[in-house]
Structure 1
Amino acid sequence: MGSEKVSPVFISSEAAAEVFDWKSAITALQQVYSNPHEEAATPARSIASSGKSWLRTLPAVPPGGRYFGAKLMGMASEASEPGVQYVIVLYDRETSRIAAFVDAEKVTGYRTAATSAAALDKMAPAQTARLAVLGSGLEAQMHTRAFAAVRDFDEIVVFSPTPASRERFANTIGGELGVNTTPAASAEEAVTGADVVLAAARSHGEKPILFGNWIKPGAVTVSIGSTVPQQREIDVSVAEQSDIIVCDMVHEVVSETGDMIAAAAAGVNVEDKCFSLNDLLSGALEESLAVAHYPMFKSVGGGLQDVVVAGMILDRALEKGCATELPIVFDTKYV
C-alpha cells in the first residue's frame, strides 16, 4: 500500500526574504482569521524545560488552508555558544505528508508584524496618518514596514532611549518608505498627536514605556512587547482607558502578559474588554469600533500566524524555484 515517496523541501531565511511580500502575508492572515474560530485548531503554546534547556512548540491547523504544522524553537543556555534556532514544519493536507521545513528566524518577525497590520487595517480609519513608534529594533522596523503596506503615513516619529538608534531608524525607514521620519527626544513627544501608536520596545527594568494620557482619543494603539508574565510595556492607564482590546490569543494576553496581569491587579476588568482577532476580522466588532475612543491591538504571537505565513512563503518559493529539495524521504504509516 502507498504511493511514490516525495521529498520535503527546505526554505532558508534568505529564500524566505527573497519571496516575502507584506500585502500577500497580511491578506492571507485576514482571510484565515475571518473564518469561524475552532479552539482545537490553535492550542496554547507549550514549553518543555530542564535545567537551562528549553523547547517551545506552537502548533496550528488553519481552517481551510492547505498547510498545517508547528513552529519549534529551542535553546540550551549551557552550550558553548547559546542561541535560539527556529523551524516551522509544514504538513500538506492534500497528501498528509511533511511538505517543508522553513527556517523561521525571519518568518517570526514577518508574521508578528503582518498580524498587527492585519488588525490595524480594520481598526484605523483609511486616511493619511501620523505614526508614533516606540522602539527602534527589528520588531519596530518590521511593524513600520507592515503598517505602511496598509496605511499611508505623512509622518513617522520614533523614540528609542539611545539617540544613535533612533537616528538610525529614522534614516533607514524614512529613506526606505519615502516618509518624513524624525527622532523624538522622549516617548511622550513621539506619541502626542499620533493617529497610530506602536509600542515595540520594553524598557530596561520592565517599566512601562507608554501612558494613557499621552494617547489622543481615536488613536489606535498596537502593543507587542509584553508576551510573558515577567514583561512590561504599557502602563495600567493604557489598559484602563482602552474600550476595546483586540487580541490574537485572548487567553494568553489576559492571563500570561505582564501588562494585563498588572492591570487586573489594579482593578481593571481586562477580560470584558478583550476580543479575538477572529471577532475583528469577521466583522463582529464593527459597530463597537465605530464608537470606540481608545482601541488597542495586543499581540503575543501564535502558531496560526507562523503556519499561514510560512505556507505563503513555501508556495512562492516553489513557484520561484528557490526551495531546496532535501535528499530524504519519510516512511508513512497508513491508517
Structure 2
Amino acid sequence: MTLILNARDVEQLCDMPTLIDVIERGLREEALGRAVVPPRLNLQTAGGFFRVMPAVMNDSGLMGYKVFHGSIKAGVRYLIAVYAQEGERLLALMDAHYLTAARTGATTGIATKLLANRDAKTVAVIGSGLEARTNLQAVCAVRPVEQVTVFSPNRERREQFAVRMSAELRLEVTAMESPEQCVRGAEIVVVATNSFGRPDPIAYRGAWLEPGVLVDAIGSTSTFLREVDTETFQRAERIVVDSKVQAEDESGDVRAAISEGKYDRDKVVDIKEVLIDKVAGRSSSQQIILFKSVGTAVQDVMAGFVVYEQAVRQGRGQDVGEFLELKTF
C-alpha cells in the first residue's frame, strides 16, 4: 500500500504534541549515530532552486526525503516521500507545505522544552503567517503560557493572528504596534518572518535581548534571507542550532554574523547534543539563549511517518497500491 496525501489531508492529520514526540525521537536517534543524514543538495534552476533532503533512520526502520522547488517570486512546492526499510516499500507521498511549517514548529517546541526557563509564561511572536502559528502552537504545548504578544508590519494581519490564536489557544494574544514593544518583558520570543525584499529585513535586534530570554529564530533558511541581526548572535550567551553545517552554509543570519566576526563557535551547540545531555543547555535562569533553526531531513521523515500512521488509522488519502516495480538481479 502506498498512500497519496494532499495538503488538506496532511493538515488535518497533524497533531502538534505527537509531532514533538516523534521528532524528538528522531533527533535522539541521530545524536546516537543511528541515522544517515548527508548534506542537503541545493541545485539552481533557470528560475529558482531545487532542494533535496534525504535521511535514513536505522532504529526507526525508515528512510525518505523531502524535495522542494520554486522561487521566492513564484512560490514553492514541497513533497515528502516516506519508505519502510523492511521490504523497501514506499509508504507515502505527501504534500509538505503545511507539514514543513508544523515540523519546524515541533522542533522549536523541543528546543523550548530544553532551553526556556521552566516557569516561562509570556511569549512574543514576530510574524503572523503559517510558521508563526505552528511555532506558537508548539511553544504552548511545552510551557504553561498565559500571555502572548504579536507584531508584524501589516496591522490587519497581526490583528487577525491575535484573534485566531486567542480562540485556538484559549489565552490572551495581543497585537502590538512595534516589534520592540512586542518583545519587551517576554520570556520566550519566536521570530518567524519572511522579510525578503524589504528595505530593512531585520525583524529582531540584539539590543532588545533581556536576561533569561530564549529567542527561537526560524525564518532565515537561505543565504539571501535575514531576520535577526548580528548583535543577537554576539550577545547571546548560548547559541543552539539544529545543524551546525547547514546553519553556517545556508542561513543568511549566521553567515552575516560570521562575516562580521560575531559568531563565536565556542558557544554554539547542536540541539541533539543537548537532548542526550552531551552538552548543557540552559545554565542559569538569567542566561540569554538563541535557538537558530534551519530544518533537517530527520524532522521531515519522522513527521511524514507519523502523518502516514494517522492516515492509515483514519482511512485518509488515496491508496495507489504497490506501483513501484521490483527489479531483481
Instruction: State the TM-score bracket (shorter-chain normalisation).
Output: over 0.9
Which blocks of at least 5 consecutive residues in structure 1 are unaligned? Answer: 1-6
- Residue 112 (1) aligns with residue 107 (2): no
Q: Which amino acid aligns with 1:87?
A: L
Please provide the CA RMSD for this pair.
Answer: 2.1
How many residue pairs were aligned? 325
CA 143–53 in structure 1, closer or farther in 2 if over 3 Å, else same: closer
Mapped to 1, the partners of 2:309 and 2:28 lie a distance apart of: 21
Moved more, 193-202 or 264-273: 264-273
Aligned match of 2:64: 69
Aligned match of 1:166: 158
Q: Which amino acid aligns with 2:91?
A: A
Q: Could you tell me which of 136, 142, 164 is aligned with 1:144?
A: 136
Aligned match of 1:324: 318
- Residue 289 (1) aligns with residue 315 (2): no
Q: Could you tell me which of 233, 236, 239 is aligned with 2:230?
A: 236
Aligned match of 2:265: 271
- Residue 49 (1) aligns with residue 11 (2): no
Q: Which amino acid aligns with 1:208?
A: I
Mapped to 2, the partners of 1:206 and 1:226 lie a distance apart of: 14
- Residue 30 (1) aligns with residue 24 (2): yes
Aligned match of 1:3: none
| CA deviation string 1:141-186 (max 9, x = no partner) | 1111111111121110001111111111111101111111111111
Please give the secondary structure, in 2, of the residue aligned with 1:139: helix
CA 180–83 in structure 1, closer or farther in 2 if over 3 Å, else same: closer
**With structure 2 as the length reference, what TM-score do the two structures score?**
0.92
Q: Could you tell me which of 245, 249, 266 is aligned with 2:243?
A: 249
Contact 1:254/1:271 (8 A) holds in 2: no
CA 221–20 in structure 1, closer or farther in 2 if over 3 Å, else same: same
Q: Percent identity?
A: 29
Moved more, 318-327 or 294-303: 318-327
CA 328–220 in structure 1, closer or farther in 2 if over 3 Å, else same: same
CA 206–34 in structure 1, closer or farther in 2 if over 3 Å, else same: farther
CA 98–279 in structure 1, closer or farther in 2 if over 3 Å, else same: same
Contact 2:77/2:97 (8 A) holds in 1: yes
Which blocks of at least 5 consecutive residues in structure 2 are unaligned? Answer: none
Contact 1:260/1:270 (8 A) holds in 2: no
- Residue 59 (1) aligns with residue 51 (2): no
Mapped to 2, the partners of 1:90 and 1:314 lie a distance apart of: 8
Mapped to 1, the partners of 2:104 and 2:37 lie a distance apart of: 16
